[in-house]
Chains A and B, each alone.
Chain A
Amino acid sequence: MRQFFDDMHGTDGEVRAAYAEIATWLAQTPPHALNAKREEAERLFRRIGITFAVYTEGGDTERLIPFDIIPRVLDADEWAFLERGLKQRVTALNLFLADVYGAREIVRAGKLTNEHIDTHPAYCAQMQGVTPPGGVYTHISGIDLVRTGANEFYVLEDNCRTPSGVSYMLENRSVMMRLFPELFARISVEPVARYPQDLLRTLRSVAPSSGEDPCVVVLTPGQFNSAYYEHSFLADEMGVELVEGIDLVVRDKKVFMRTTGGLKRVHVIYRRIDDDFLDPMVFRPDSTLGAFGLMEAYRAGNVALANAPGAGIADDKAIYMHVPEMIRFYLGEEPILNNVPTWDCANEGALAYVLDHLEELVVKETRGSGGYGMLVGPHATKTMRDDFAKKLRLNPAGYVAQPTLALSTCPTFVADGAAPRHVDLRPFVLSGADGIRIVPGGLTRVALTDGSLVVNSSQGGGTKDTWVLHTRQNGGK
């Protein structure tokens, strides 16, 4: 049996200081009372309408992401460490993007090749030579972290193309506060509710100067998109319009929205549609989700897009390996947060190693997301591994491999009471022309199946509220 670090019990079974109050609460609350709270939570989520569409399921396309009522806790020191690391990493990612679409110093320094960049599927040629306002490319970044020990955190992946999940971070907190006010009275938890205001400030900071009060909008593909709830939630919380492509029109390289009073100028678009759909004039001609001429307006500096087109090149799984090097190169600092060791299957030696060690590795598509198309070696059957090996040999450059990390667990309320389940953490990092903002916490995702390491909601994962303690808790260890 492999030993996992448990967020609450560490490795020796003793309750860690940050969880002292939670442990008491769990010990004093009978299971049926917890179960009643769990049911109440589910009713609340349904009533608010926080649902998530899952593409592969037929019938009811609106499904609830399971919510676990036991919070995941980080103490103030742990968070301070993560925050420093996240700021450093996202600063480097933005500098990397500015370099990729600008001078290409990193190529001159021999760390990457031009070919590497130019042939990359997420590279956006339209962006070459364009400097977005404030030099910011990835305004909203979701950095997926995992924990393997008391002081061991790893970055699993970076998400620089419209990462989602922040609405769950916010709604999870508001549901927890409603269900367990007494816990919040006893434990001093850093609030997360300022996120929408931070986001709006960040977006306004990159508005082109036009003399007008900048108009910010959220661009959604529409109500049948899986993350539609989040789009409308964020627009509402920020107090800005939620627009669809049909609401936008470009005139004289300026973007407008159709309103009841005629056309109104738009300065910043927080777009929740992919690059390919932004502008049928330069990208997919069949797209109706974006606006014709949007890129021309963007290149003319008349509108800001968050995140910038082409920002995805920074979060690719093959580029990921180079992030520690980027941090040294652009910032002259040692990386604070570790990368997971990664084998790039495009490399022949690495491919041979990966094929030999499939049963202990996780193999991911470099372009995949949402947990689709990946192999978790230790949990796969021999047939699955053999089939995967065939795919791998056919297109080695399409895959990277990582060791299966001993992801930490956190007590989770399941059918037979509280039991350890594996978790990860996605904090949301906001980068504006005026600096970086991070709300303490993030989205904790939990693999609800015993032993499972896949936390993605599309694969049956759930979420937890994430508590960052305001001050260090005394006592314990």
Chain B
Amino acid sequence: MLARAAESLFWLARYMERMDNLARLIEAAQSMAGVLSETEEWRSALAAAGVDELYDTVYDTVSPDSAARFLCTGPDNSSAIIACLDLARINARAMRGALTRDMWEAVNQGWLESRHLTERAFSAETLPDTLDWVRTISTRFSGAYETTMLRNENYWFIRLGTFLERADNTARILDVKYHLLLPQESSGVGGMLDYYQWTSVLRAVSAVRAYQWVYREEVKPWNVAELLMLRPEMPRSLRACYDAITECLEKIAAIHGGRRGECHRIAGAQASQLRYGRIGDIFQSGLHEHLTEQIERAAELGDQIAAHYMR
């Protein structure tokens, strides 16, 4: 397959996944309105999306309305939901032939609809509907590729993009939220406020129910961290993402006669660390340090995949 095609498909999947994660992040922030400091909640959402500094160059204060708008449409935010959709379509269009018709229609239909969104779509009362719409687009897209794509290299690069982006997002959300919640931990674990806060982390990764099924007890910080990092059955956990990433890279290597590179080594090292790691040890050595490293490794892995396959 063309190196440029691999790159376009990989980024198409990343932007679709990023858009989906942003929608979840905004939903979580919005659902916390009235429970704790709105400013803090939205600032953490901006930080998790990696655009908090950019935001400060445009706005003076953090308000729910301006933060939500900024995350949805910019201005000047090239990681906003709408910008992700634009970039996804540009990548899809560049490799139109590598997409199945269902995949293309999922992207194109979403993009066409996005052009008819009005200002009102991002106001507090209609925002939940708009975010639902965003998640429908990415769900349609992943459904389309899972059900219509040949299991060839195209498919593995799409999947690789999805899971690398998801790993990065999960690490970011956990890191930012954990940071925000840390000071309150001393005020007593298990309090109402704490419960809401940790639930908000779970909500951002659509894992509130999953938590109950896995732990069957009240929401506890270390359980949440374990669920999002080490649990293989949790589809957005780092462990699940890296299992998928190594699978994709192995499939691609097999297509090329077993040729492997630095990207395979990094992914394998990450996967085994997550497979054999224990949450107690991670807390001991510092969750934040650990997550920062995860984020850096994900970026490095992306670079190495590009170096090995996309030049």
Contacts and interface: CB of A to CB of B under 8 A. Distances in A.
Task: Verify that A and B bind, or say they do not.
Answer: yes
Interface of A: 46-49, 222-223, 228-229, 232-233, 235-236, 241-244, 246-247, 257-261
A168 to B, nearest CB: 16
Contacts, number: 63
Given A48-B101, A247-B2, 4 more contacts: A223-B90, A247-B3, A260-B157, A260-B309
Q: SS class of chain B's interface: helix, strand, loop or mixed?
A: helix
A261 B97 contact: no
Contacts of B95: 242
Nearest to A232: B96
Nearest to A218: B97
Contacts of B3: 247, 258-260
A247 B96 CA distance: 16
Given A47-B109, A223-B90, A244-B4, A260 B256 contact: yes
Interface of B: 1-6, 90, 93-97, 101, 104-105, 108-109, 112, 153, 157, 252, 255-257, 259, 309-311
Contacts of A236: 96-97
The 5 tightest CB contacts between A and B, nearest first, are: A236-B97, A232-B96, A261-B256, A260-B309, A258-B3
A246 B309 CA distance: 15
A453 B304 CA distance: 58
Contacts of A246: 4
21 contacts: A47-B105, A47-B108, A48-B101, A48-B104, A48-B105, A49-B96, A223-B90, A241-B1, A241-B97, A243-B2, A258-B3, A258-B4, A258-B311, A259-B3, A260-B2, A260-B157, A260-B252, A260-B256, A261-B1, A261-B256, A261-B257
Given A232-B96, A247-B2, A260 B153 contact: yes
Nearest to B107: A49
A258 B6 CA distance: 11
Contacts of A235: 97
Contacts of B96: 49, 223, 228-229, 232-233, 236, 242
A247 B4 CA distance: 7
B104 A49 contact: yes
B2 A257 contact: yes
Contacts of A261: 1, 255-257, 259
Contacts of A244: 4
A18 B88 CA distance: 47
A197 to B, nearest CB: 16
Contacts of A222: 94
Contacts of B309: 260
A177 B53 CA distance: 54
Contact of B6 (A223, A232, A260): A260
Contacts of A258: 2-4, 311
Nearest to A239: B97
B94 A223 contact: yes
Contacts of B6: 260
A128 B122 CA distance: 64
Contacts of B2: 241, 243, 247, 257-260
A46 B2 CA distance: 28
Nearest to B3: A258
Contacts of B5: 241
Nearest to A235: B97
A246 B311 CA distance: 10
